[in-house]
Amino acid sequence: MSADLEWTEGGPRSLRYGDIYFSRSDGLAESRAVFLEGCGLPHGWSGRARFTVAELGFGTGLNIAALLELWRRTREPGAHLSIFSVEAHPLSRDQAARALGAWRGVLGDAVDALLTLWPEVRTGFQRLDLLAHAATLDVYIGDVGEALARWGGPADAWFLDGFSPALNPQMWTGEVLAAVGRLSTPGARLATFTVAGPVRRGLVAAGFEVEKRPGFGAKRERLEGRLVAQARSPSSSRRTAVGSVAIVGGGIAAAALVRAFSRQGVACTLIEAEAPGAGASGNPSALVTPRLDAGFGPAADLHAQAFAFAVGLYRRDAPQAIIAEGVLQLGVAARDEARFAKLAAWTGFAEGRLNPMGPADLADWLAEDDTGDNRPALWIADALVVEPALVLRAWLASADHVTGTVVEVEPQGERWACRGRRSLPRGRLRRLRPSARCRPASDPWPGGVHPGAGLRGEGCGLGRLRHPDPGRRRAVRGEPRARRLGP
């Protein structure tokens, strides 16, 4: 799946496709001339609160870094950029850093922001939260046809950058170009470096009007296009930006919302009946583990992607809340051994991060003579144990806090009014229905057995967290055990 590169003086070249990633003379100038200007940017997003750019061929990320830099300089205040890109053969972070090295300072911190969040080698969607750039990037790792079938669109602008059609026809088939048309807003723009006949004809069939323009560097011509056929219903991209929100309930869900809204410059008022963490999020510790789904359908993708996103978020934005890293998932029956092996081989999780263990390995790992049963286990290396109180403290800090119980929320013109047991402020949006009230355990969990023993899959058996050696502070998740797991 990974990119297979050779390095030339002008940058990387793909050995798999026999083509270069960007112009040898000046990749950034090419990106700007062919893709940004080719799509009429930044003029295209003037007056827009939301704008969506889609790209076929993420490669080194150079086009996207150039896009982010332009967006940061020229966007409307409060506007947000959504980016979608697809890549079948991802470069590693080190390869990308080498390819983009020349533009690190030139593009502000766009290159560093991309490299920090660089996609992992695992299939499916990966969201890169570029909130400092008022942007989110969804990269689909996998084949272009699959990606376009799964992405919802619509795009306001397209960068078609999938190597030369002669060397890589799969990136330019009629089906791919028809999907580009289907996933576009009316009037959407597109740009590409190629003027190959089949590409032009495919784009016209997909509803685009295309025009040849003078090419960059040694290339004589390039192509610009505009969707003339009515594809999708007009997007909601012209709606006005939200200025403030009221969020009801001060648990982990609210904290995540406050974090995301605040990064986008939206003021938050938090209305909490008691105190942050009064509900289920008041547990002294919580596991961040994936839901394991060996069906490998869309639901499995979603859980794997949400897990990776959550882990990245806690590591970057609340590292102080991480109590331990790595969780051992115990199986419930011997047949779980085959299931765990299947999950470990699946490309939806980052390679080598799930390690199955048979019963003997498990006993060895736990440094016990006998585990007392015949269960396999799965070591989830990226899983975390976090202290929710520290996450709440960090992420809720930017909100205005109001203590009160909301009893009713009703629309008032363009805004919403919250009614409660005391006078509460008004906001434009609200989050209702916090989860059913749950009291936290009154005392920290004793080593080995969690008081909520009936809740299989919740944070049970955290005895190893007390181990004096930090390297062995690990959590064990599964059916509660009748004895202590830790020393």
Ligand X SMILES: Cc1cc2nc3c(=O)[nH]c(=O)nc-3n(C[C@H](O)[C@H](O)[C@H](O)COP(=O)(O)OP(=O)(O)OC[C@H]3O[C@@H](n4cnc5c(N)ncnc54)[C@H](O)[C@@H]3O)c2cc1C
Ligand Y SMILES: C[S@@+](CC[C@H](N)C(=O)[O-])C[C@H]1O[C@@H](n2cnc3c(N)ncnc32)[C@H](O)[C@@H]1O
Residues that bind ligand X (CB under 6 A): 248-254, 271-274, 278-281, 283, 286-287, 405-406, 434-435, 438, 452, 455, 458-459
Q: Which is nearer to ligand X, 204 or 273 (CB)?
A: 273
Indicate whether 86 belongs to the interface with ligand Y (CB under 6 A): yes
Q: Which is nearer to ligand X, 32 or 477 (CB)?
A: 477
Strand pairing class (135-141; 184-192): unpaired
Residue 49 makes CB contacts below 8 A (sequence gap 6+) with: 76, 78, 79, 80, 237, 238, 239, 240, 241
Q: Considering CB distances under 5 to 8 angstroms, the limit depending on partner class, which of ligand Y, ligand X, none binds residue 383? A: none
Instruction: State the nearest-atom distance from the C-beta of 359 to ligand Y, in Å.
Output: 41
Residues 128-167 that bind ligand Y (CB under 6 A): 143-144, 161-163
Instruction: State the nearest-atom distance from the C-beta of 461 to ligand X, in Å.
Output: 11
Q: Considering CB distances under 5 to 8 angstroms, the limit depending on partner class, which of ligand Y, ligand X, none binds residue 253? A: ligand X
Which x/- pattern over 232-271 shows residues binding ligand Y (rule: CB under 6 A)?
Answer: ----------------------------------------
Indicate whether 398 belongs to the interface with ligand Y (CB under 6 A): no
Q: Which is nearer to ligand Y, 52 or 60 (CB)?
A: 60
CB-neighbour burial class of residue 482 (10 A; exposed 0-12, middle 13-18, buried 19+): exposed
Nearest Cα to Cα of residue 292 among 340, 347, 355: 340
Residue 372 makes CB contacts below 8 A (sequence gap 6+) with: none
Residues 88-107 that bind ligand Y (CB under 6 A): 88-89
Q: Which is nearer to ligand Y, 57 or 119 (CB)?
A: 57
Q: Considering CB distances under 5 to 8 angstroms, the limit depending on partner class, which of ligand X, ligand Y, none binds residue 143? A: ligand Y
Q: Considering CB distances under 5 to 8 angstroms, the limit depending on partner class, which of ligand Y, ligand X, none binds residue 13? A: none
Task: Please give the helix or strand (H or E) that residue 145 lies within, else none.
Answer: helix 144-150
- Whose structure tokens read 């704008």? 51
Residues 30-69 that bind ligand Y (CB under 6 A): 57-63
CB-neighbour burial class of residue 443 (10 A; exposed 0-12, middle 13-18, buried 19+): exposed
**What are residue 49's phi and psi, to 5 degrees?**
-85, -25
Nearest Cα to Cα of residue 86 among 54, 131, 134: 54
Indicate whether 124 belongs to the interface with ligand Y (CB under 6 A): no
Copy the structure tokens of residue 61.
């990320």
Instruction: State the nearest-atom distance from the C-beta of 138 to ligand Y, in Å.
Output: 14
Instruction: State the nearest-atom distance from the C-beta of 22 to ligand Y, in Å.
Output: 5
Q: Considering CB distances under 5 to 8 angstroms, the limit depending on partner class, which of ligand X, ligand Y, none binds residue 274? A: ligand X
CB-neighbour burial class of residue 409 (10 A; exposed 0-12, middle 13-18, buried 19+): middle
Q: Which is nearer to ligand Y, 4 or 368 (CB)?
A: 4
Q: Considering CB distances under 5 to 8 angstroms, the limit depending on partner class, which of ligand X, ligand Y, none binds residue 109? A: none
Instruction: State the nearest-atom distance from the C-beta of 197 to ligand Y, in Å.
Output: 20
Q: Considering CB distances under 5 to 8 angstroms, the limit depending on partner class, which of ligand X, ligand Y, none binds residue 281? A: ligand X
Instruction: State the nearest-atom distance from the C-beta of 331 to ligand X, in Å.
Output: 18
Instruction: State the nearest-atom distance from the C-beta of 353 to ligand Y, in Å.
Output: 23
Distance of CA 12 to the CA centre of its chain: 26
**What are residue 73's phi and psi, to 5 degrees?**
-80, -30
Copy the structure tokens of residue 319.
């590292």
Q: Which is nearer to ligand Y, 107 or 268 (CB)?
A: 107
CA dihedral 94, 99, 105, 108 (to 10 degrees): -80
Nearest Cα to Cα of residue 392 among 279, 251, 274, 263: 251
Instruction: State the nearest-atom distance from the C-beta of 203 to ligand Y, in Å.
Output: 17
Binding-site member from 87, 138, 156, 224 for ligand Y (CB under 6 A): 87
Strands (E), 216-319: 221-227, 244-248, 267-272, 286-288
Long-range contacts of 334-341 (CB under 8 A, 24+ apart): 334/359, 334/374, 334/375, 334/376, 336/375, 336/376, 336/378, 337/376, 339/292, 339/294, 340/376, 340/377, 340/378
Instruction: State the nearest-atom distance from the C-beta of 181 to ligand Y, in Å.
Output: 18
Q: Residues in the site for ligand Y, rule: CB under 6 A?
A: 21-22, 57-63, 86-89, 143-144, 161-163, 168, 170-171
